[in-house]
């Protein structure tokens, strides 16, 4: 889906200019990512019904490339698997042991899943 400049600006601000997945501030270069992936095979788009504004979120370059064509649950699993691989590695074990990295067993929760759960500081809640 080709976004207009206005649609792209609106999408970028969907989560206050932050990546939907990691929450980092988006720079000038960022991607419009399909939450539910579309696939392109030999130039043909599979799941073209998913190519709509409602299925797009702003994503930083690293998150979008890392997510690739994964759906949310597969991407969550990929990140969790990476965390476990890191802990099994000698470097990971050493960094944890030295207190330089804290490894949490918390579930993987994406930025957009927690966005606006807590009212911003100074905001009134009803």
Q: How far is the CA of 113 from the CAs of 45, 76, 109, in angstroms?
A: 28, 12, 6
Average pLDDT, the chain: 90
Q: Which of 25, 22, 27, 32 is nearest to 113 (CA)?
A: 22
Predicted local distance difference test score (pLDDT) of residue 50: 94
Predicted local distance difference test score (pLDDT) of residue 126: 45
Asked whether the predicted pLDDT for residue 123 surpasses 90, the reply is no
CA distance 9 to 106: 33
Asked whether the predicted pLDDT for residue 118 surpasses 70, the reply is no
Q: What 3-state class would DSSP assign to 58? A: strand
| pLDDT level of residue 117 (50, 70, 90 thresholds) | low
């Amino acid at each position: 889906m080709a976004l207009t400049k206005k649609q792209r600006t609106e999408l970028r601000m969907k989560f206050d200019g932050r990546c939907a997945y990691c929450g980092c501030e988006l720079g000038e270069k960022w991607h419009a990512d399909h939450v539910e992936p579309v696939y392109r095979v030999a130039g043909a788009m599979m799941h073209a019904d998913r190519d709509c504004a409602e299925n797009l979120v702003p994503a930083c370059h690293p998150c979008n490339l890392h997510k690739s064509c994964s759906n949310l649950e597969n991407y969550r699993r990929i990140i969790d698997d990476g965390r476990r691989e890191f802990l099994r590695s000698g470097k990971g074990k050493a960094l944890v042991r030295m207190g330089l990295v804290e490894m949490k067993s918390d579930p993987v929760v994406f930025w957009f899943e927690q966005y606006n759960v807590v009212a911003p500081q100074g905001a009134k809640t009803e």
